[in-house]
Structure 1
Amino acid sequence: MVEGKGFLVSSITELHRKEKQKKKGKSGGFESLNLGPNVFNAIKKKGYKVPTPIQRKTMPLILSGVDVVAMARTGSGKTAAFLIPMLEKLKQHVPQGGVRALILSPTRDLAEQTLKFAKELGKFTDLRVTLLVGGDSMQEQFEELTKSPDVIIATPGRLMHLLEEVDDMSLRTVEYVVFDEADSLFGMGFAEQLHQILGQLGENRQTLLFSATLPSALAEFAKAGLREPQLVRLDVENKISPDLKLFFFQFPFAK
């Protein structure tokens, strides 16, 4: 009887555990994404519990492998929205596997912030991430490239410079590419370089475009570079309500 009772208690405990996991999944937490322990533990260590709206809408799509155009304001959590799926997909370092992910940023500061964030979220993996931005030593960046990075975070100008200078540097192995703050990339005059970079990427890649707005030039670029992308657009509630009424109040001038 004691053994049977113990088995019953164990079974009930297991049922409670599974039910708890189901509820967590339904709640829209990071648990519902079925991430591996390396990435999930890093998310927990950062103190994140519930994805932001842009993360909740884009990450399942990205993890499914489709191209995505995501529009949301700065500070909405876009960086984690593409870093978490990237780390989950790459999983671990592949020696001599070539560059497998490329993140393009409009400014050095943003690229450095993305690097810091990528290292925090990837701290339980052995993935190698390299930063290529203007202002840093070209020689040091040459040396970084010899270490077979899995991920490159770069500004377009410096990346193009290195592609021209390094004979054996290729983007054909890239499986995952992100154009971060894409409206700023175009607004700062990088359009020609972005098209050149696009031409050096392989066909078998997943392409993500994250932006606060979608100007016409950027929309044309998305048509050329992405395959049947899913559009995720937040902040549409900021449009002027059709129910808004405007009143004018005229006051007599004081005599």
Structure 2
Amino acid sequence: SGKTAAFLLPMLERLAEHSTKVGARAIILSPTRELALQTLKFAKELGKFTDLRICLIVGGDSMEEQFAALAHNPDVLVATPGRLLHHLEEIGLTLGSVQYVVFDECDRLFEMGFAAELRAILKRVSENRQTVLFSATLPAAIAEFARAGLREPELVRLDVDSSLSENLKLAFVTVRQ
């Protein structure tokens, strides 16, 4: 979707290519396994002409397979908060190399009770990261979370009243270098 492309395209452009330095450089947190799977599929599609490694970390999948995927030094982790936190505690996964954090459907993450997990994950990433929250609504809990946990947060709002021009044409071009 357009929202997913809005965070994936700049992230993939910023990361550019696989890093041999150990540690994920981006995390995309989704409220559900299904949304994480959709995001993974789209990320792999957009990044197919890069050598970036993208890994899925969600509940319901084999922990051993996830350990093996993490051992291949992924650049991007698409995860649900509970399972990611489990890996952080279970195998001592570190997030010091993370430059980019996305909270996809942040309102649903909070509705589903992941606030403590999100705070715990943010404490483990570098302060020199970019954090992006996408939300259909802006409940007080998210505004509070942004003020408390983010540096110089900016609100970008797309209201329903805004409409696209009928003359707008959209194209996506993949260029190999």
2:53 counterpart of 1:135: no
Counterpart pick for 1:162 among 75, 80, 87: 87
Structure 1 regions of 5+ residues with no counterpart?
1-74, 239-255
Which structure has the larger Rg?
1
Corresponding residue number in structure 2 for 1:192: 116
Equivalent residue number for residue 47 of structure 1: none
Give the counterpart of 1:112 among 19, 32, 37. 37
Q: What secondary structure sits across from 2:78 in the alignment?
A: strand
More displaced stretch, 100-109 vs 228-237: 228-237
Structure 2 gaps of 5+ residues are 163-177
Q: Which amino acid aligns with 2:45?
A: E
Match in the other structure for 1:40: none
Q: Which has the higher helix share?
A: 1
List structure 1 segments (4+ residues) > 3 angstroms apart after TM superposition.
none
Is the contact made by 1:100 and 1:175 (CA closer than 8 Å) also made in structure 2? yes
Distance 2:36 2:160 in 1: 28
Deviation at 1:96, TM superposition (A): 2.8
Q: C-alpha separation between the residues in 2 aligned to 1:161 and 1:97?
A: 19
Give the counterpart letter for 2:21 in structure 1: Q
Show the counterpart of 1:93: 18
> Is 2:139 the partner of 1:223?
no
- Answer yes or no: is the 8 Å Cα contact 1:207–1:225 preserved in 2: no
What is the number of residues matched between the two proteins? 162
What secondary structure sits across from 1:232 in the alignment?
A: coil
Kindly report the root-mean-square deviation, in angstroms, between the aligned alpha carbons of the 2 structures: 1.2
The answer for the alignment partner of 1:13 in structure 2 is none
DSSP 3-state at the match of 1:233: coil
C-alpha distance after superposition, 1:41-73 (max 9, x if no partner): xxxxxxxxxxxxxxxxxxxxxxxxxxxxxxxxx
Identity of aligned residues (%): 69
C-alpha displacement at 1:209, in angstroms?
0.5
Distance between the aligned counterparts of 1:219 and 1:193, measured in 2? 17
CA distance in 1, matches of 2:21, 2:91: 16
User: Quick one: distance in 1 between partners of 2:51 and 2:17?
Assistant: 6
Encode CA deviations 1:74-99: one digit per residue, 9 max, x unaligned: x6x21000000000000000113411
Quote how far apart the aligned CAs of 1:207 are: 0.6
Q: In the alignment, which residue of structure 1 is the partner of 2:134? A: 210
TM-score, length-scaled by structure 2: 0.88
Q: What residue identity is the alignment partner of 1:185?
A: L
Match in the other structure for 2:100: 176
Contact 1:104–1:155 at 8 Å: present in 2 too? yes
- One-letter amino acid matched to 2:137: T
2:75 aligned to which of 145, 150, 154: 150
3-state secondary structure, aligned to 1:211: coil
User: 1:160-197 CA distances to partner (integer Å, 9 max, x unpaired)?
Assistant: 11111113x10111000000000000000111111111
Please give the TM-score of this superposition, normalised by the length of structure 1.
0.62
Specify the SS of the correspondent of 2:116: helix
